[in-house]
């Protein structure tokens, strides 16, 4: 059976939602980000640890609406929707490159309802990572974890905007790490991915995948078409290294 990796951006042409395809790779390390401080969260002792994570992280998760010209659309414009997360309080946001692919306009909506024009500072299409900037300060930010320490069986929490349902939370586990692009139907991508069974859908692209401490361990990017429980995220170590290059 042929596997097809599917991007998680929601594209809106008129009132029709469609999802498009994934591909692509690049490396380096970061200095821009403060290291995550380990927090002791015992899921057994705190059965409501998911609620605590969501309350902490959700304000830093954003909705990204984009528009690009298209001769195939009656209106001449195709609109897309994805997710992202604030990693710098001065308005820097991580998302997938395909969320803002060929975008002529980008709109970022915060968890508190405020909306800003977004500027694409740069993107690495081969790795599917982009950085957006909005003109704002003192914004809530996520805490970045260490994806190299992620192990199968650990809790995984996804927050995003699937099909326009803002700040949807789903929970699962880490199903596997170090998945090759060829294993998920994207042979041209040389990167490795985190696999999760937390439900992710079109519109989740660019949203965070979190551990039980509320640290971002990955950025949701793809699913395998016509399957359930097979979602994939770019390891945060990889994404933040690219972001550091973009920001300079």
SS (H, E, C) 73-130: CCCCEEEEEEEEEEEECCCEEEECHHHHCCCCEEEEECCCCCEEECEEEEEECCCCEE
Q: Given pLDDT bands bounded at 50, 70 and 90, which one contains residue 45?
A: low
Beta pairing, strands 192-196 & 168-180 = antiparallel
Beta bridge partners of 123: 130
> Does residue 147 contact residue 131 with C-beta atoms inside 8 Å?
no
Nearest to 160 by CA among 83, 51, 50: 83
Report how far residue 161's alpha carbon sits from residue 89's, in angstroms, rounded to the nearest whole number: 21
The pLDDT of residue 226 is 76
The pLDDT of residue 74 is 63
CATH 2.40.10.10 residue ranges of the chain are 5-18+31-58+142-247, 60-133
Identify the CATH assignment for 60-133 out of 2.130.10.10, 3.40.800.20, 2.40.10.10, 3.30.1330.60. Answer: 2.40.10.10
Report how far residue 20's alpha carbon sits from residue 17's, in angstroms, rounded to the nearest whole number: 10
More confident residue, 165 or 3: 165
Query: Would you name the residues annotated as active-site residues?
Result: 98, 128, 205
The pLDDT of residue 30 is 38
The pLDDT of residue 2 is 53
Q: What is the pTM of this model?
A: 0.81
Report how far residue 75's alpha carbon sits from residue 66's, in angstroms, rounded to the nearest whole number: 15
- What is the rounded average pLDDT of the residues 6-13? 53
Report how far residue 33's alpha carbon sits from residue 54's, in angstroms, rounded to the nearest whole number: 21
The pLDDT of residue 173 is 98
Q: What is the mean pLDDT of the chain?
A: 84
Q: pLDDT tens digits for 160-219?
A: 999 999 999 999 999 999 999 887 777 777 789 999 999 999 899 999 999 999 999 999
Beta bridge partners of 193: 179
> Does residue 73 contact residue 14 with C-beta atoms inside 8 Å?
yes
- What is the rounded average pLDDT of the residues 3-27? 42
Identify the CATH assignment for 5-18+31-58+142-247 out of 3.40.50.300, 3.40.50.12780, 3.40.30.10, 2.40.10.10. Answer: 2.40.10.10
> Does residue 29 contact residue 148 with C-beta atoms inside 8 Å?
no
């Amino acid at each position: 059976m042929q596997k097809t990796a599917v991007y998680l951006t929601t594209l809106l042409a008129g009132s029709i939602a469609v999802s498009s395809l994934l591909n692509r790779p690049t490396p380096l390390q970061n200095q821009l980000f403060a290291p995550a401080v380990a927090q002791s969260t015992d899921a057994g002792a705190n059965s409501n640890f998911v609620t605590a994570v969501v309350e902490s992280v959700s304000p830093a998760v954003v909705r990204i609406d984009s528009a690009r010209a298209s001769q195939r659309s009656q209106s001449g414009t195709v609109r897309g929707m994805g997710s992202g997360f604030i990693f710098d309080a001065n308005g820097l946001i991580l998302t997938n490159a395909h969320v803002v692919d060929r975008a002529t306009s980008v709109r970022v909506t915060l968890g508190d309802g405020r909306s800003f024009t977004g500027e694409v500072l740069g993107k690495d299409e081969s790795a599917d990572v982009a950085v957006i900037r909005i003109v704002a300060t003192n914004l809530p930010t996520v805490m970045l974890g260490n994806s190299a320490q992620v192990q199968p069986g650990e809790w995984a929490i996804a927050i995003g905007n699937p099909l326009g349902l803002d700040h949807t939370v789903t929970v699962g586990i880490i199903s596997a790490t170090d998945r090759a692009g060829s294993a998920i139907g994207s042979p041209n991508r040389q990167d490795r991915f985190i696999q999760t069974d937390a439900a992710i859908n079109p519109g989740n692209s660019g949203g965070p995948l979190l551990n039980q401490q509320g640290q971002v361990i990955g950025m949701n990017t793809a699913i395998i078409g016509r399957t359930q429980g097979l979602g994939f995220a770019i390891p945060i170590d990889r994404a933040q290294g690219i972001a550091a290059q973009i920001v300079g």
